[in-house]
Amino acid sequence: MEITYREALRLALIDEMNANEDVIILGEEVGRYGGAYGVTKDLIKQFGSDRIIDTPISEAAIVGTAVGAAMTGLRPVAELMYVDFIGMTMDQLANQAAKIRYMFGGQIGVPMVLRTQGGTGRSAGAQHSQSLEAYVMHTPGLRLAMPATVTDAYHMLRQAMQQPDPVVFIEHKGLYTMKGELDVDKATAPWGKAKVVREGDDLVIVTYSRQLHYALAASEELAKSGIEATVIDLRTLNPLDFETILPYVKRAGRAMVVTESVLTAGVAAELGARISEECFDYLEDPVVRVAGEDIPISVSPLLEKNSVPTPELIIETARMMLA
């Protein structure tokens, strides 16, 4: 069936809550309002206020409550309106949720999901448009999922709600209205595995989230001039599946990493370093990072658009690499 990314997320929540009565949802306006982007719309009518819980406007309280609930045996799904607010939760998230299994010697875990929204595209300004996945990726103990497609939005959210450890689940706000086919019975890949979305012998593009669609658009345009690119969707950044990437990079000898997060000390830096270390003898050229500018995101639509990678920039970079 064809549905939107937003509807796929909502359906995943409904199906998992029906399958597991321990799943609860909490956050600002997730109940009567239906969530900042409408993902939890009308769920309170179906599951009641005991399982769909509107909280005070306190990100620290939301995540702290989720951590405690998870430790008692529930499976909370906490929602932050924007990933930009994750800094206010970092004690609860990075010092508690990420470390409790280790601190208790494996006797207790924190099986929670933190759903949040990141990325540009809505002229929301510098405080509501960031891509802060590197904050999460930097913290051992936190799983990190960033689905790019309708099918992955559904299956990866359901998989996240079944993990024994805390999962930060970042949805790109520019994808909510995107439509796609969903087969509820079949995931595109197992949890933690990257997916090769397109194959080509000249160049490997490694990416995730909305940039997958930009990379695919760029690859189709490049093909018109004889440049064939492999495009790999990481899907999760923790676990990070390098086993899927390596043979393609070794074959092509050239790799580009495309991320919306900033260039300096970001996800692209880690991916670029790992590819360079593990494929050094096979690379024809250095790994190239195409990432967000090291600037606050402007509210101006034109400046915002060009502060992160575009299909045009990916095309230009690929042609430079193969010149």
Residue with tokens 């309708």: 150
Residue 6: CATH number of its domain: 3.40.50.970
Residue 15 pLDDT: 98
Does 189 map to a domain? no
Residue 306 has a pLDDT of 94
Query: Same domain for 109 and 226?
Result: no
Q: What is the pLDDT of residue 158?
A: 98
What confidence score (pLDDT) does residue 292 get? 97
Any alpha helices (H) in 26-167, and if so which ranges?
43-47, 59-71, 90, 100-103, 133-137, 150-160
Distance CA 105, CA 85 (A): 30
Q: What is the pLDDT of residue 132?
A: 98
Residue 161: left (phi > 0), alpha (psi -120 to 50), or beta? alpha
Q: Which residues contact 125 (CB under 8 A, 6 or more apart)?
A: 297, 298, 299
Check residue 50 and give its pLDDT. Answer: 96
Sequence-distant (6+) residues with CB within 8 A of 21 are: none
Count how many domains the chain has.
Answer: 2
**Strand bridging mode 143-145 / 167-172:** parallel
In 10 A of CB 22, how many CB atoms? 15
Query: Which of the residues in the chain have pLDDT under 50?
Result: none
| Residue positions annotated with a catalytic role | 128
Same domain? For 157 and 207 the reply is: no
Is residue 216 domain-shared with residue 159, that is, in the same domain? no
Q: Do 115 and 171 touch, CB atoms closer than 8 A?
A: yes
Report the pLDDT value the prediction gives residue 47, as an integer from 0 to 100. Answer: 98
Residue 151 is predicted with a pLDDT of 97
What's the confidence (pLDDT) of residue 149? 98
In a domain? residue 186: no
Domain end position, chosen among 131, 146, 181:
181
CATH number at residue 311: 3.40.50.920
- Do residues 218 and 308 both lie within one domain? yes
Asked if the structure places residue 188 within a domain, the reply is no
Question: Residue 119 sits in which domain range?
Answer: 2-181
The interaxial angle of helices 267-279 and 242-252, nearest 10 deg, is 60
Give pLDDT, residue 12.
98
Distant-in-sequence, close-in-space partners of 41: CB < 8 Å, separation ≥ 6: 10, 34, 35
